[in-house]
Chains A and B, each alone.
Chain A
């Protein structure tokens, strides 16, 4: 049971970094960044490339990946957001899709289509926690993701920079009137979101590999996390990410945790990965119908 929970939390924690960046851009600009999934892929491939040059544990490469991904985020804002910021949100939505496709094709040209494995965060292998063994990598993912989420929280809640970011997210016009350089703040948000997406890519690349076409899968998860958690809610995005991991990892493992379930008629289908996916989307639809603002409310009124 502990192993299942650790695996689920590790996956959810990596998804949380992805969803977090998605929400931060959404709040700062009111637009959906559909390149967020491809930024995860870029972060994964970046750590693969860096590890070819410096064969060290991924934790050592994390600052480099964060820095380079932040630059990529800045480039994304300059290419896909600022030229279109006065257009309706759908223009940014389309432009980020375009940038995502460009990233995917560039990665395909540079790295080839095959999956790649990044280095482990610290070391590979298992660690014994009492009667059960869990993966070192999973524990390391949880620790690093938790650290990054705490850093984000402290930065946004307890610093002047955070107040400026939040002010911009809440009311751009008012922030501008108060002398806040909104464009700088938005560019910074793109950098921050891309850095966190890159961190997610780094965390996922060892256990789950990375291919140039992974982005579309990740953006779907970010979108689901945000819809379930609450459009524009940072806490909601984190919880939404955990809900996805719950369905991907914990739900299909229930017959192992509660052996009585295995004897139910149709148990093998009921607790299959396919059913878990179906139920995740049932939950998504239920949230949209019953609580359209998501589990943790909504701060942005318009949806792309």
Chain B
């Protein structure tokens, strides 16, 4: 009996090996679902999952989701594990800049494309041909951010509060560069860590500097904390926040009145509506995940869909998909994507503003084909 059981077990274990291993390719989803970037990471995951569920006819791709947390080594380990598991066509890679920077060498070595919505400028500045960013990088969104303050709000003096993470420092640098380009003076700037809870000191100092506009470049919780505390202390200068503000869960933390007059840069605001295709995405997203999508979800949806459409057109290997991403044009839901040769696929940005009545922002300005600075 034992021998029979043993034989059956051996046969059972041997069966999967009898079928062709890696008959199906996969697109692992390696995103931060826990930690300070969990909100954005969850959006990224949902966008990718939705695209994979809507894959073009004839394209069958497996996916597995791994939480990368916030540590670079966790992301690298997740990537190496995923690549070791079978045929990987492309990877949906963390939007956390420090994790992306750590994963880039592995992608280069393994020659597999990383599709991300990370805003950190440096990820496409390393000459790595395997990174594709479907969210406008800092060179694009910070140009729109400062341009809106300069041209629409007629600001001459800026205060800047940024996060001390790689994302924050990258954005701060681009804000400074763009402010110089527009002849604006930065009268106050300070970096804050993600753990800082009480924003009254930094807001007090920003107020004392008497800026025309306060620009924020912070992750979601810090953005909401600054805006709530600014509203509580009747901070008088207009606030133009970073893309974290446009996220519905960030707005949900605040009362509509606290949001009055607050604006934010983003790639897209799916909840603002206005486009039938985006409205269909919105409806499906709400149905599948029971939450509201943001621009990160939409960007990752578009990026993943561009990979899937390349596969539908016959690109199978990572090399073929990489070539397709570099050379193709993809009309996505948020915008039209095209590589600038360095993996920056998104070149448009929007400014959305809240009217103080609802938590749904209105698109007030769109900037298309923002060229990166020549310097």
Contact = CB atoms under 8 A, between A and B. Distances in A.
B77 interface: no
Interface stretch (B2-10, B193-201, B313-321, B335-343): B193-201
Interface string B209-241: 000000000001100110010001000000000
A252 B34 contact: no
B198 A274 contact: no
A116 to B, nearest CB: 7
B197 A273 contact: no
A286 to B, nearest CB: 21
Contacts of B220: 114-115
Interface size class of chain A, counting residues whose CB lies under 8 Å from the partner chain = 35 or more
Interface residues of B, number: 36
A7 B249 contact: no
A11 to B, nearest CB: 6
B291 A113 contact: no
Contact of B42 (A11, A113, A256): A113
B202 A113 contact: no
Contacts of A116: 253
Contacts of B189: 268
B208 A209 contact: no
Contact of B188 (A112, A126, A248, A268): A268
A135 B221 contact: no
Interface in B171-205: 188-193, 195-198, 200-202, 204-205
A213 interface: yes
B36 interface: yes
A117 interface: yes
A249 interface: yes
Contact of A108 (B33, B196, B228, B252): B33
Contacts, number: 100
Given A114-B42, A272-B191, A253 B200 contact: yes
A104 interface: yes
A87 interface: no
Nearest to A269: B190
A116 B249 CA distance: 8
B328 interface: no
A86 interface: no
Contact of B33 (A113, A209, A248): A113
A15 B221 CA distance: 19
A183 to B, nearest CB: 34
A281 interface: no
Interface in B148-165: 164
A262 B39 CA distance: 36
A98 to B, nearest CB: 15
Contact of B36 (A7, A117, A207, A213): A213
A160 to B, nearest CB: 39
B367 to A, nearest CB: 28
27 contacts: A4-B200, A4-B204, A11-B198, A113-B33, A113-B42, A114-B42, A114-B220, A114-B249, A115-B220, A125-B232, A204-B197, A207-B197, A208-B197, A209-B224, A209-B253, A213-B38, A217-B195, A248-B198, A249-B201, A252-B201, A252-B202, A256-B205, A272-B190, A273-B190, A273-B191, A273-B192, A273-B193
Interface of A: 3-4, 7-8, 11, 104-105, 108, 112-117, 125-126, 135, 204, 207-209, 211-213, 217, 248-249, 252-253, 255-256, 262, 268, 271-274, 277
Given A268-B190, A272-B191, A273-B202, 8 more contacts: A113-B41, A115-B253, A208-B225, A209-B253, A212-B34, A255-B208, A256-B205, A273-B193
